[in-house]
């Protein structure tokens, strides 16, 4: 039998799609870095990354406050959302009766689909007054931003860890159950150890979402590009600062925004590679 050497239409389409995504990705990296690069050579990479003052109109391009704020937002929201999201996933898979599970699943899916600007409104009407009331400041700042981000990334964490928990072989549960383990002990010793990597993958994916989130953060963070000193004080993060300044930036300022974008891109890429590494080690 001779097999046709011609490329099948499916192969051709798949190849084109692959090519488009690879080229697209390369172009994104290329342009962001090309547009931003001049500022690195002008002020120096070290000064850009570690400078503490972001005053573009006065020619000061220290991105450290923005980078630190972004990192604090990621760490804070993941610390808040992981226990909640994993807890919710455990409850949904292991404890909840079917109608409750369906209901929660719908809620989580809806939560994942809400546009981020709506989360921003929610933060402004609910968490900013609460922060103002309890922490005595303007209300804008890291606290409401972390809370809003935590809610936004919760669905990712819940969905991915829920899948990981469901994928645990029944035998693992049976082992603990047959030894007389309680329900929680069964989860704790029979289920969670096998699901652990999946849960970590979920949180890393969620970090990727948190670091890039622009709109909701912009609406509640207060956007003061200063070193973040306290959680109840306004701050500014990389993506929201870019979005804000882009409207009017020219010259070096514009270049600096692209450079900031490049830094953001690197952070996001690192997170994605970390997620893949952890995911690949899964048994």
Interface residues with other proteins (CB under 8 A) are 169, 171-172, 174-182, 185, 189-190, 193-194, 283
Q: In whole angstroms, how close is the CB of 185 to other proteins at the nearest point?
A: 5
Q: In whole angstroms, how close is the CB of 183 to other proteins at the nearest point?
A: 10
What gap in Å lies between CA 64 and CA 86, rounded to an integer?
32
Nearer to other proteins, 13 or 178 (CB): 178
Which residue do the tokens 């919760």 mark?
154
Helix (H) or strand (E) holding 210: helix 192-212
Q: In whole angstroms, how close is the CB of 174 to other proteins at the nearest point?
A: 6
Nearer to other proteins, 28 or 178 (CB): 178
Range list of β-strands (E), the chain: 54-55, 60-61
Q: In whole angstroms, how close is the CB of 190 to other proteins at the nearest point?
A: 7
What gap in Å lies between CA 248 and CA 246, rounded to an integer?
6
H, E, C per residue of 124-171: HHHHHHHHHHHHCCCCCCHHHHHHHHHHHHHHHHHHHHHHHHHCCCHH
Q: In whole angstroms, how close is the CB of 178 to other proteins at the nearest point?
A: 4
Nearer to other proteins, 30 or 184 (CB): 184
Nearer to other proteins, 96 or 194 (CB): 194
Asked whether the beta carbons of 242 and 54 are under 8 A apart, the reply is no
Nearer to other proteins, 189 or 254 (CB): 189
SS3 55: strand
């Amino acid at each position: 039998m001779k097999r046709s050497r011609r490329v099948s239409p499916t192969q051709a389409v798949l190849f084109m799609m692959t090519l488009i995504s690879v080229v697209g990705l390369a172009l994104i990296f290329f342009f962001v870095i090309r547009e931003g690069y001049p500022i690195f050579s002008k002020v120096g990479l070290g000064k850009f990354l570690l400078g503490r003052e972001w005053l573009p109109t006065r020619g000061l391009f220290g991105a450290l406050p923005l980078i630190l704020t972004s990192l604090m937002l990621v760490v804070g929201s993941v610390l808040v959302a992981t226990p909640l999201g994993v807890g919710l996933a455990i409850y949904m898979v292991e404890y909840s009766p079917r109608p409750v599970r369906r209901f929660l699943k719908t809620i989580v899916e809806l939560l994942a689909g809400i546009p981020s600007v709506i989360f921003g409104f929610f933060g402004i009407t609910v968490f900013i007054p609460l922060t103002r009331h309890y922490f005595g400041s303007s209300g804008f700042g890291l606290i409401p931003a972390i809370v809003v981000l935590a809610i936004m990334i919760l669905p990712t964490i819940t969905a991915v860890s829920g899948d990981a928990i469901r994928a645990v072989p029944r035998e693992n549960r049976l082992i603990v159950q047959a030894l007389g383990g309680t329900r929680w002990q069964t989860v704790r010793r029979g289920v969670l150890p096998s699901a652990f990597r999946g849960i970590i993958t979920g949180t890393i994916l969620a970090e990727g979402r948190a670091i890039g989130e622009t709109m909701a953060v912009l609406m509640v963070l207060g956007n003061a590009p200063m070193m973040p000193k306290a959680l109840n004080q306004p701050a500014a993060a990389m993506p929201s600062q870019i979005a804000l300044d882009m409207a009017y930036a020219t010259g070096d300022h514009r270049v600096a925004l692209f450079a900031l974008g490049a830094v953001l891109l690197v952070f996001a890429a690192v997170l994605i590679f970390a997620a893949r590494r952890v995911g690949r080690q899964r048994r």
